[in-house]
A and B are shown apart, each in its own frame.
Chain A
Amino acid sequence: MKREAKRTGVFTRRALVLAAAQMGALGLLGTKLYQVQVVEGGRYATLAQTNRVSTRLIAAPRGRLFDRFGETIAGNRSNWRVLLVAEQTEDVDATLDNFSRLVPLADHERARIEREVRRHRRFIPVVVREFLDWDDMARIEVNAPDLPGILVDVGTTRLYPFGSLLAHVVGYVAPPSEADVAEDPIMALPGLRIGRAGLEKHHDLALRGRAGTMELEVNAVGRVIRELDRQEGRPGEDIGLTIDTELQKSVLDRLGEESASAVVLDCRNGEVLAMATNPSFDPSVFNSGVSQAQWVEWTSNRRAPLINKAAAGLYAPGSTFKMVVALAGLEAQAISQSERLNCPGYLDLGDTRFHCWRKGGHGMLDLRGALKNSCDVYFYEVARRTGIDRIAAMSNRFGLGVKLDIELPGARTGLVPTRGWRIAQGHAWNIGDTVVHGIGQGFLQLTPLSLAVMAARLATGRAVQPHLTRLVGGEPQPGAAAGDWPPLGLPEFDLHAVREGMWQVVNEPGGTAPIARLTLPGVQMAGKTGSTQVRRVSRDQREHGFKSETLPWEFRPHALFVAFAPYDAPRYALSVVVEHGNAGAATAGPLARDIMTDVLVRDPAAPREQPQRVADDAPPRPEETR
C-alpha cells in the first residue's frame, strides 16, 4: 500500500496546484472585470449613451422670396412622394410590379430603387417616386392592400411660380454636394436643397433657417424605439425683394428673342426693379436634377441661357462711357463745358489715324454737342488730355470696374484699365490706348448692371448701390432712402452739362437717338447710345462701305443704351444691352424707350397701399411728386 499512498500524495498535491491555478485565473478575470466596469467604466458608459441615443435632424421649411408687392417668387410646395419600406413587404419585386401597374416605373427607376433597397437597412424608406399628382396618389391609396411596404409621404420642394422669369436673379436650389455635406451635417437631411445660384445662394443661410433635432432611442440595427426629446427648429427667413415682377415680365417680353439684358433701377436708392436676361431657363429643373440632354442644350447654346448677362455679362461700354470721360476731363480741367473742338472725321496720333463714326466729321463741337452727336474725335481728344488714370478713377466713382453691393454671387466686377494694370501685365501703356478708351473701347469690360448704376449716379449725383433685398424676416434693410447714399462730390454744374447732353441725344433733332424719345406727355428721358465692335473693322472694309448688318450674327456689334427719367426729376435709371444688336440707336434705343415707358406708367417705386404682409413694416419713405 505504499505505492497507493505515494500516488494519493501526488494526486493531492497536483489537485491543489490545479485548484489554486483555477482560482487564480478566475481572480484575474475578476480584476479584469473591475478594470472594464469600474476603472474604464466612464468611457464605456459614454459610448453606451451614444449607442443608445441617435440625434436626428428635422428639416426647417426654407424661407420664401417675395417681390416688392408681396407676390411669391419662391415658395415651398408639398411634394407627394411614395416610399418603400422593404421590411414591411415579403416580396419587394411583387410590390414594385403591382405599383408599376398603377404608376409606370421606367427600367432605370426600378434599377435605382432596387439598388437603394439593397444598400440600406430594410427598415429605411427608399424613395420610389416623387412629385406625384392627386390622381396617382388616389390610385395608390385605393390599392394600398396590394402594395405592402408602400408608404405615402409628403415632403416639400421649391416652387418658382414665375418659372424662368426671375431665374437669373433668384437662382435655384439643388441637392448639396459631397463637399457641402462634409461642411455642415444638416446637409445630410433627406430631400434638403441648398441655394446654388443667385439670391437663393446669397441668402442661403437666412433662408435655410435652423433645423430642429430629435433625440431618438434606437437599437443596434438603428430601428427607432421611441422619441426621447425634440427641439423644434426655426423656419427660414422670408425675404422681400425690390423686384417688381409685373415690370420684370414686361421687360422680358420687350427683349423678345434677342440675346439681351436690361436693368431698371430706382435711381434714388439703387433698388433693382427689374433685372432681365434673355434667354432664361426654368430654375425648378435643378431641384429634381438636370438631364444630360438639357445640360448640353444649355451649355452649347450660343445665347448662353444660364449666364446672368445683366450682372455677369461683360461688354465694352462704347459711347455710353463718354459721360464719364467728359466728367473726368471737366474735373481735370482738360476741357471746359464751352470749349469747342474740331472734328474732321479722324484724329491723327503719330502715324495712327483714329476715325470718327461719322465719315465726314462733325465740325466744331462743345461738350453738349459732342455728347448729342456722340462724336468720337472730341472724346479721343478729351481722353488724350485727361489721361487714362483720371478716367479710370472717375469710372470707379460711377460704379464701373468696382465691386458693387449687389447680392448676386455670380456678379462680376468688370475691368477699367489703368496704366499700372497694363504695366503689371508686362506691357507699356501707349497714348493710343488712352484715346480708344475715350470712346469706351479698348480693355474696358463692364456689366449692364454697372452701366445702369452709372446712369443712376449721373442722374442723382449720389453713389447709390444697386440692391435686391428690401426685407429680411420683416426687417427693413438699409439703403432704401435716397439720403442713405453719399454724394459723389462732383459739381452740379458739370453733372448738369452731361445730363443736358444726354437729354439732347434723345430729345433734340439731330441727336443720335431721337427714336428713343418718350411719347408720354410731360415726361422726358435722357440717354446715351453705344455700339461696340466685337471685331476690328479693317481699313479695307471701311473704304468699301462696311455694313454690320451683313455680318454673321456672332460678329455683329453689341448695341447698348443707358438712360434715366424723368429728366427734370430723375426716378428711374436703366441700361439695355443687346448682344450683336448692331447699332445702339436702332436696336437698344427703342427697347429703352419702351421699357422706360412701362416703368413710368407703372411707377413701381411710388408709395402705395401695399396689400401683403411683406410691406407691413416697410420703412416710411420721403414724399414724392410726379
Chain B
Amino acid sequence: MSLLDRRLIRETSFGLTRKLWRVSWTYVLLLCVLAGVGYAALYSAGGGSADPYASRHILRFGFGLALMLSIALVDIRFIARLSWVAYAGGVTLLVLVLRMGHVGKGAQRWIDLAGMQWQPSELMKIALVMALASWFHRASWERMGNPLFLLPPLLAVAVPVGLILKEPNLGTAVITASVGAAVFLAAGIRWWKVGLATAGIGLAAPVAYGQLHDYQRARITTFFNPENDPLGAGYNIIQSKIALGSGGMWGRGYLQGTQANLNFLPEKQTDFVFTMLAEEFGFAGGLALLGLLALIVLGAMAIALRCRHQYGRLLAVGIAMNFFMYVFVNVAMVMGTIPVGGVPLPLVSHGGSAMITVMVSFGLLMSVHVHRDVEFSDRRGDI
C-alpha cells in the first residue's frame, strides 16, 4: 500500500462541513434539471396548468432532495451495517403487499404507508443492491470463483424477484433481476458463468412465457403487432407512436402537442410522459432528454469508479443500473420497442412513491460519494 493510499484511508471520520463540501453539487444540479423537465412536462400534461400534476411534482422533488441530502451525510459504513436489515424489511413488505396490498389495474402491488401508496418492489431493489454489495464487499477475486459463495446472493435475488412476479409485475421483476445481475458482474463473477446464466434464461424463456398472466402475454403479442388490436391492448403503443411521429424533428411546440392534449395519448402524465415531451419538442428534444438521462447514469458510474471501497462501488453500480433500467424500459416501451410495462420515467413522471424511492437511492449514491475514501476498519484484512 502506497503512502498516498494510507493517508487517504486514514481519514476515517470528518465533520459536517467537510461532508457537504464533498457532495457532488454538479450531480445534484443534473437531478434538479431533470426534475425541472418533469415540471414542464406535467404542466403541459395538466393542460397548461400546474394543477394537478406539476405543483405536486415539484413539492415532492423538494422533499426528495432534502431526503437525499440527509442520507448523503449518513456514514456509508453505518448504511452498510443496515444492508441486511433493509433487505429483510423489503422482503417483509413484499410479503405484506401480497397478503393485504392494494389491488390496482389488476395487480396487487401497492401498499398504503404515510399517506402515500408505495410499491414495496421499488424499495426492494435498493435494499437488494445494499445486501448484495454488503455480501460481495469482502469477496476477493479468488472467492468470487467459488460457486458455493455465490449461492446465498443468488438466493437473495431470487426471493424478491419471485415475490414481485407473483404480484404480478413483470416489468419490475425484470428490472430487479437486471440490477442484481449488474452487481454480480461488477463484483467479479466469471464471464463463463455469465454466459451460462444467459443461455439458461434463453432456454427458460418459453417456459416462463407459459407462466405469464393473460394480460402480460397480451402485451407481448400486441407489442409484436400493435395494429392487430388498435383499440384494445395495442392502443397505447399505436397512439404513442402517432404522437411521436406527429412531433417530427423539431416538435409541435410547448403545450401544442395535439395528441396528448386531446387525450389520445393514454397515461401521458405517468408512463407516456416521454412521448408527450417528444411530441412537443420533437426528436431534438427527445434526444436532449435522453442525453440528460445518460449523463445521470454516467455520473453514477463515475461515482462508483471514484469510490475506494467495494461496498460503495457495488452500491453505486446497482443504483446506476436501477436508474438506467427505469429509463431504458420506459423509453423503449413508449417507442414500442419492448412490451408496455407500467414503468415510469424517474423524476419526470407523475407519481409520489417512485420519486421518493429514486431520491433515496440517489441519497445512498451521494453518501457513497461523500464517503468515497473512508476505511471499513472492521473489514480490514478480510480479503
Contacts and interface: CB of A to CB of B under 8 A. Distances in A.
Given A14-B186, A15-B305, A29 B332 contact: yes
A38 interface: yes
Task: Kindly state the interface size class of chain B when it binds its partner.
Answer: 35 or more
Q: Label chain B's interface by main secondary structure.
A: helix
B8 to A, nearest CB: 14
A94 interface: no
B297 A22 contact: yes
Interface in B280-294: 282-283, 286-287, 290, 293-294
Given A11-B186, A45-B248, A19 B298 contact: yes
Contact of A7 (B188, B239, B262, B265): B188
A218 B310 contact: no
A37 B383 CA distance: 52
B301 A37 contact: no
B297 A225 contact: no
Interface residues of A, number: 43
Interface string B320-335: 1100100110011001
Interface centre among B1, B305, B321, by most chain A C-beta atoms within 10 angstroms, is B305
B346 to A, nearest CB: 14
A48 B337 contact: no
A132 to B, nearest CB: 36
Given A38-B249, A44-B244, A18 B310 contact: no
A478 B380 CA distance: 114
Nearest to B240: A36
A505 to B, nearest CB: 75
Contacts of B248: 37-38, 41, 45
Contact of A44 (B242, B258, B332): B242
A14 B304 CA distance: 11
Contacts of A42: 245
B328 A37 contact: no
B140 interface: yes
A11 B188 CA distance: 7
Nearest to B323: A22
A49 B290 CA distance: 27
Interface string A1-26: 10110110011101111110011011
Contact of A52 (B259, B266, B286, B287): B259
Contact of A10 (B188, B258, B286, B297): B188
The residue in A29, A32, A42, A47 that gathers the most chain B C-beta atoms within 10 A of its C-beta is A29
B183 to A, nearest CB: 10
B262 A52 contact: yes
B162 to A, nearest CB: 25
B241 A51 contact: no
A420 interface: no
Nearest to A52: B258
B185 interface: yes
10 contacts: A10-B141, A10-B188, A16-B305, A22-B297, A29-B331, A30-B290, A51-B262, A51-B264, A52-B259, A220-B264
Interface of B: 1, 140-142, 182, 185-188, 239, 241-249, 258-259, 262-266, 278, 282-283, 286-287, 290, 293-294, 297-298, 301, 304-305, 310, 313, 317, 320-321, 324, 327-328, 331-332, 335-337, 383
